[in-house]
Amino acid sequence: MITSKNILKQILIWRYKHFSERQFIYILSVLVGFLAGLGTLALKNLTYFFHWVLEGNLIKEYHYSLYFLFPIIGLFLVYAIKNYLLQKEIGHGISTTLRSISTKNGIIEQYKMYASLITAPITVGFGGSVGLQGPAVSTGAALGSGVAQLFHMNMKTRMLLIGCATAGAMSSMFQAPIAAIIFAVEIFSLDMAFGSLVPLLLASVAAVITSYFFLGHDVLFGVTLQDTFQINDLLFYVLLAVFTGFASVYFSKIYFKIINFFKRFSSPFKRLIWGGLAIGLLLFLIPPLYGEGYGIINNLLTNNSEAALKDLPYNIDFSNVWMLIIFLLLIGVLKVVAMTTTFAAGGVGGIFIPTLVMGSALGNVSAKIINQFGFSVSETNFTLIGMTGLMAGVLHAPLTAIFLIAEITGGYDLFVPLMLVAAISYAITKYFIENSIYTVELAEKGELITHNKDKNVMMMMDMEKVVETNFISIHAEMTLGEMLQEAVAVSSRNIFPVVDKEDAFLGIVLLDDIRPIMFDHTLYTNVKVVDFMKSAPALIFKTDTTEIVMDKFKESGAWNLPVVCNQNKYVGFISKSKLLSAYRAKLLEVTNS
């Protein structure tokens, strides 16, 4: 009988006969890139369909108040899908992917292949002010992890294929294959070695070809540079960099404040109600915040500010430049509020596109203000470079910001201001905010993957596997004779943990310490364990990270340290030799060297 398991077995046998490990990884990277590209296209098309049905036909033809109603309906649909259909938490794309890499060795649950694919288009299509890049990465990463698991690839290859999927999602979304590779390396801390670079290239190219095949050259941002970089504008770009740097700090701090505010509500349903009402009211008052916001970016890139603000329900004199500046600034400031409120209410999406929207609005505003004082700078260039500044600051991804905008514009004429603004904005944000929105939670728990291999290996180690429990416990009130008979005589270890009746750790007894008296029978009944036990050089808690454990061994100089859990309850011992052996084994697994 032919089964899927038998088919897979035959494929694996055929693969081992005809392909080396490296060749097979190249094939899988192309497959993962293609799948990530398809997933991204599905996300985009579903979202555009909802936009076309709801915003294109219903709102304009029926009633403006639907701007208030549709986001709430979308959030309720997402809530129902998460709680009654999936019955699982989806999380925010890139953050959850990073967590799976750092804490689960790249094992991503299968439901995440389709969870964001269903919920993100509903969130965004019904007006939620979030992006699709995060869900695209989440879907692609789950597919990459699934492919790696299907073909029994090791941990390093599994993580590489997740990076390939990330590059594929980015490449398909923006048709920017170089920036996609840099994004995967910068955000997921992948190695830029030859063994990693070729699969990333193949995945990125496969995804962008998939996008070209289905969409042609229909890119998200259609812009052709009309104005080149002028050295006379250098000071204005420095001012823009400082402006976007502090705007990035504002973006991150507002995000954390709103998220923490909604955590006060005891249940997700309460967060849904209050968050839904808040985002509905915000979109009713400022309709340009509806959905992702590509329309705003593209209109600003073509110097059509009036079209970017056309949905505002107010009688605005667009011939007055200062009115344009005020409302564009308002959109830039409120985009992060609308985005975070959508997240807090239970919506599924990403922060990448909202960051670009805010950056484009602030960059355009900067150019308009400068020009009002008698200077002449390019509004298109400032819009693009404003996006660069926000990306570099908010995402902590300056290289991605530089190369994405360079690829979008089809050239490198703005490379100097791109690098300048990205560097300054990133430096300012980094000074005030150590970690990006993607990584702050993992960093606080010491679970963040970085380019530091030593820390990555220690973080990925499972400490429970190095705890040894074959030590015989003794009690403080035992006599020397009882200890020798019940513990020393039957143990192969030379260290004995002392515990009380509730197994709380009290101290240790070393065999070397009792060797001078262990053969003196006159002491067997007179001397008790409490008389010669001593404190441990240090205690290891079950919650300690590997890095903390290593530090405790270094500071104490001990070869064995006791492990305790809640209320000082004894668990076992960790030996330095076993810990170092486990570290070396994990290092070989991660680096495959």
Q: Which domains does the chain have, with CATH numbers?
A: 4-215 (1.10.3080.10), 231-451 (1.10.3080.10), 457-591 (3.10.580.10)
Helical H segments across 487-575, by residue range = 511-514, 529-532, 546-556
Burial of 413 (0-12, 13-18, 19+ CB in 10 A): middle
235 close to 318: Cβ distance less than 8 angstroms: no
In angstroms, the CA 120 to CA 288 distance is 19
> What's the confidence (pLDDT) of residue 328?
94
Amino acid at 401: A
How do residues 105-136 score in pLDDT, each as one tens digit?
778 888 888 898 999 999 999 989 998 888 99
Please, what's the b/e burial string for 49-77 (b: 16 or more CB within 10 A of its CB; e: otherwise)?
ebbeebbeeebeeeeeebbbbbbbbbbbe
Q: Does pLDDT of 206 surpass 60?
A: yes
Percent of the chain beyond pLDDT 90?
A: 42
The more confidently predicted of residues 153 and 244 is 244
First to last CA, the chain: 41
Say whether pLDDT at 568 is over 50.
yes
Q: Return the bridge partners of 541, or none.
A: 564
Burial of residue 128 (number of CB atoms within 10 Å: 0-12, 13-18, 19+): buried
Q: pLDDT > 70: what percent of the chain?
A: 90
Residues with Cβ within 8 Å of residue 353, at least 6 apart in sequence: 130, 131, 132, 133, 292, 293, 294
Residue 42 neighbours by CB distance under 10 Å:
15
User: Which residue from 431, 361, 419 is spatially nearest to 392, judged by alpha carbons?
Assistant: 419
Q: Is the pLDDT of residue 593 over 50?
A: no
What amino acid occupies position 469?
Answer: T
Beta strand 474-475 with 540-541 is: unpaired
pLDDT value of position 59: 61
The torsion angles phi and psi of 116, rounded to 5 degrees, stand at -70, -30
Looking at residues 379-397, what average pLDDT do you find?
A: 94
Three-state secondary structure call for residue 190:
coil
pLDDT per residue as tens digits for the range 278-300:
999 999 899 899 888 888 888 89
* CA angle centred on 407, ends 405 and 411, rounded to 5°: 100
Of 156, 230, 244, 209, residue with least CA distance to 425: 244
Report the range of poorest mean pLDDT among 52-61, 159-168, 491-500: 52-61
Structure tokens at 116: 């964001």
Give pTM, 2 decimals: 0.80
Q: At what angle do helices 576-591 and 453-460 cross, to 10 degrees?
A: 110
pLDDT band (50, 70, 90) for residue 220: low
The answer to whether 312 and 288 have CB atoms below 8 angstroms apart is yes
